[in-house]
Structure 1
């Protein structure tokens, strides 16, 4: 007769025996045969119950692993979305800074052109001459002074508005990665409710 407790690959599939393999009654069996049959049935029942418990445990582990994987994927997708949003914000901020700097450079170039044009109007003045002779044509000096004033005001306005080209605000801290969560779960198992963390927490006590 087959012993259901034998640990061999050839007999592992045969441990799950059909009821037809056992007699419907033991009336015709000798006592020794009946006891042997009882032992076989008991061994097969033990093996079946053990296999069922292992199957349930593995199914639960697989379920927990699938749930954890799903949660990790969701966190990763959220992280990707946040990184994409931060990237778009950085690009938009950089584009704004470039546009503002370009505008300021164009404005400064325009003021310098006006200053150069006004200077050309007084370039022929001789510094050795009397200052009173310079006032013979005051319009040229007024244009020159206005050009200088425009540059000074532009420079002061830029100093009074430093935020116009300030760098973008620092990024918010990134959410923990799945590896960080797993490391924290191992270090502080008492803070989690999954079976693996509960078992680890009990072992640490």
Structure 2
């Protein structure tokens, strides 16, 4: 029931740190009936900190609360010297099921894993620092995810719509670098497009990325 216990005689022996294996319901694929979780090893500083904090609480409070961590990885140490673009990625959950890639721009792209109609994992390239909490909350809730709808968002390159579809709040796409100015009405000298519907500037916004 605790983080790491070989048998009843080792209930007070724990394993903590980035390399320690742990049970995770989030990583279970459902093939083992009744198991509900699987033991995984996912080395990261997030796991190192959370496992140590969990064991400290167990020892101080004398409880046996289960440690069920959601795998969370990320890196922000990418980019080129002198470039204004900072590349970063975050992964949360488990890579189970269909992998659906949305977006082609490194400024914002996502991979969503759908298993048996539920969201099981998300990898986000780019985006804001505050989106890590939103990814964790979305994967923990295991929302229903329609792979056909997500593939539609993939064809459109609409990362924002795909993230919203699976319940990731606070995710917004960066504005395009530049957009051509669309005329409100055709030039009077040409006489073209007379009577045609006028383009509104709001309709010309770039929802997709690629």
**Structure in which a larger fraction of residues adopt helix:** 1
Q: TM-score range by the shorter chain?
A: under 0.3
Q: Which has the higher contact order (CA 8 A, sep 6+)?
A: 1
Q: Which has the larger radius of gyration?
A: 1
Please, what TM-score do these two structures have when normalized by structure 1?
0.19
